[in-house]
Chains A and B, each alone.
Chain A
Amino acid sequence: MKTKLVALAAAATALTMGISGCGSDSSSSSDDGGTIASQMIFGGPPEFKTRTDGIPGLKENYGVEFAKYTVTDVGGPVTVNALKRGQVDAADLFTTNPAIEANDLVILEDPKSNFAAQNIVPIVSKDKATDGVKEVLNAVQAKLTTEGLGELIGKVANDKEAPAAVAKSWLSENGLDTSGTSAKGASLTVGSANFTENEILANIYAEALKAQGATIKTKLNIGSREKYYPALEAGSLDLFPEYTGNALAYIDKNATATSSDDVYAALAKALPSNLIALDQAEAQDRDAIVVTQETADKFKLKTIADLAQEG
C-alpha cells in the first residue's frame, strides 16, 4: 500500500518535472539549397558568438551564417575533438595551435581581414634598445613563422620539453646562437605572459641576446596584459613578446586597423614614447576558421568567403 503511494508520488514528481523538459531543443534539419555554412554547426568559445570579429563579423564581412553554434572551449582540446569527431563542422582555433598540423586541419583564408592581424612583435624600452639589441632581435623576428611556432608549442605541450630548451634548440637550428658581442653592455629584463607560446618567445629573445653578450634577467609567466603592460610602461620590464592586434586594441580601444601592415603602423603610433616596436614577424597567432581536410575537399573550401557559396 505504502510502496504504491511512494511510486505514485515519485511518478507524479517525475511527470511534473518532465513536462517542463519537453521544451528542449529538437534540432531541425537544414533546408536544402542554402549556403554551405547554413548546413554547418560551428564550434568556438562563448564570447566568439557576440565578439565583433566573431559571428557578427563573419556575417558582415563574408555573409556567412552558420546553422547552429556549439560552445566548445577557447581553442583547446574540446574544440579540436569536436571538429575531428564531427560534432561541429567548422571551428575557431588559434593559428599556432599544434593540433592543426597534427590533424590535417585546414585554416580558411581571411582575405578581408575579419580577424585583426596578430603578428609577433617585440616591444622594447627605448633606452634599452641599442642598435645591437635591435639587430639581434630583428634577426630572430625574420625567422619566426606561424607553422614553426606551432611546432615549438607542440614540443612543449605534447613532448613535455622545457620552454627554455625548446628555445635554445630552435636558435641553434636557425644559426642564431653563435656567440658574439653585438649586444654587449646591454642589460634587459625580459617578461612573458602565462601561456606556453609567449614563454617560448621570451626565452628565444633572452637566449639570443645572451649569446650576443647582453645581461638578461627574466620574469616569465606574469599573467594577463592588464598585469604586465603597466610594468612595461613603467620600465620594470624592458622586453616583451607581443601580438600586434591585441597590443593595439589594449592601448587604443577604438583602433580599427585589421591588416598586418595597418595594425603594425597603428601600433607604432599608439605606443607611448618610452616604448618601441621592433620588426614584426611573419608568424601570427590569431583566430582562424578551421575545418577538417575532408570538409574542405567536399565543399572545395579555401577562404571563409567560400562558406557563403551555395552548397
Chain B
Amino acid sequence: MIGDTFSWLTDPAHWQSTSFDTGIPGQLGAHVLYSMIALAIALVLALPAGLWIGHTGKATWVVSAANAVRALPTVGLLVLIVVIIAPHFYGRTNAGYLIPTEIVLVLLAVPPILSNAYAGVQNVSPAVRDAAFGMGMTGPQVLSRVEFPNALPLIFSGFRSATLQVIATATIAAYVTLGGLGRFIYDGLAQQDYPQMISGGLLVAALALVADLLLALAQRYTVSPGITGRMRRSDRDGYDVGPRGGPDSRVAVLNEELASEAA
C-alpha cells in the first residue's frame, strides 16, 4: 500500500491538469485559495474584535459565544447552507457551493483568533499598561504600541491553530462539488482507489505543516525578542548599553575564574 501510494504521488499524470481531470498542483492551489479566503475573512473579523474586547474588557461574552460556535458540526452545517444558498445561483458558477464552504471555514477560524487576541491583550501585565498610560499614551496608542506587541505571541498561536484547522477542514469543499485536496480523498474512497485517498491525506498534512512552518518563521521575525525570552538574559539585564549587550562585568569575572582554574 505504501509503495502504491508512492507511485500514485510520483505518477506524472497526477501532476498535470487536463480539462477533465485536475492534477495535484491545481487542487493544491484551489485548497490554498479556499483556506486563504477563509483565514483572511476570519482575521479581519476576529482580530480587531479580539483586541478591542481585550483592551476595553467590554462584551467578553462575544468570546464565549464564538467559542460555542466550535461545537457546530461542520459538514452538517455546510450541507444545510448549500441547500439554502445553492438554488439561488444560475449558470456556470460555483458560488452556490463556494460561499457556504467559506462560511463554515470562517466559523472554524474565528474562535481561536478571537479568543487568543482577547487573552493576549487581557494578559498584558497591568504594570506595563499603567506605565504606558503614565507616560501619557492614549488608549489607542497603548493598544497598538504596548498591548498588541505584547500579545503577539498569543495572537500568532491563535492564527496558527486556525490555519491548521482550516487547511485540514477545507477538504470538505470536495463534498459539495468543489475542488481542493479533499477531491483525492473523496474520489479515492468512492472509486476504491486507496492510494489516491492516502495521497490526498498526505498532501493535506504536508500543506498544513508547510503553512505552520511559514507562520512560525513570520512569528520569529515579528515578535519582539524582548518578550520571547530568546535574548540571553545578559542582553536584557546588561548593565552596559548597546544593541548586543556589550561586555558584561559578570562575564568578565567568570572568564577570569575559568582562566585561573585552567592555569
Contacts and interface: CB of A to CB of B under 8 A. Distances in A.
A binds B: yes
Interface of A: 2-3, 5-6, 9-10, 12-14, 16-18, 20-25, 27-28, 41, 43, 45-47, 49-50, 66-72, 77-78, 81-82, 84-87
Nearest to B155: A6
B222 A23 contact: no
Contact of A78 (B40, B91, B176): B176
A27 B214 contact: no
Contact of A27 (B19, B86, B90): B19
Nearest to B90: A85
Interface in B1-51: 17, 19-22, 25-26, 28-30, 32-33, 36, 40
A124 B173 CA distance: 44
Contacts of A10: 218
Contacts, number: 112
Contacts of B26: 23-25
Contact of B83 (A69, A72, A77): A77
B61 interface: no
Contacts of B86: 78, 81, 85
Interface in B130-159: 144-145, 148-149, 152
B19 A86 contact: no
A70 B32 CA distance: 20
B32 to A, nearest CB: 5
24 contacts: A3-B148, A5-B222, A6-B222, A9-B221, A9-B222, A13-B215, A13-B218, A14-B40, A21-B29, A23-B17, A25-B26, A25-B179, A45-B190, A46-B187, A47-B190, A50-B191, A50-B193, A70-B177, A72-B177, A78-B86, A81-B86, A85-B89, A87-B92, A87-B94
A295 to B, nearest CB: 13
Q: Top 5 closest A-B pairs, CB basis?
A: A46-B190, A24-B29, A46-B187, A9-B218, A21-B29
Given A22-B29, A24-B29, A28-B19, A2 B190 contact: no
Nearest to B91: A86
B123 to A, nearest CB: 18
Given A13-B214, A16-B214, A71-B183, 18 more contacts: A3-B144, A14-B40, A21-B32, A21-B36, A23-B17, A23-B25, A23-B29, A24-B33, A25-B30, A46-B186, A46-B191, A47-B190, A49-B187, A69-B20, A69-B21, A70-B177, A71-B187, A87-B89
A71 B179 CA distance: 9
A72 B190 CA distance: 12
B121 to A, nearest CB: 14
Contacts of B21: 69
A85 B32 contact: no
A188 B86 CA distance: 46
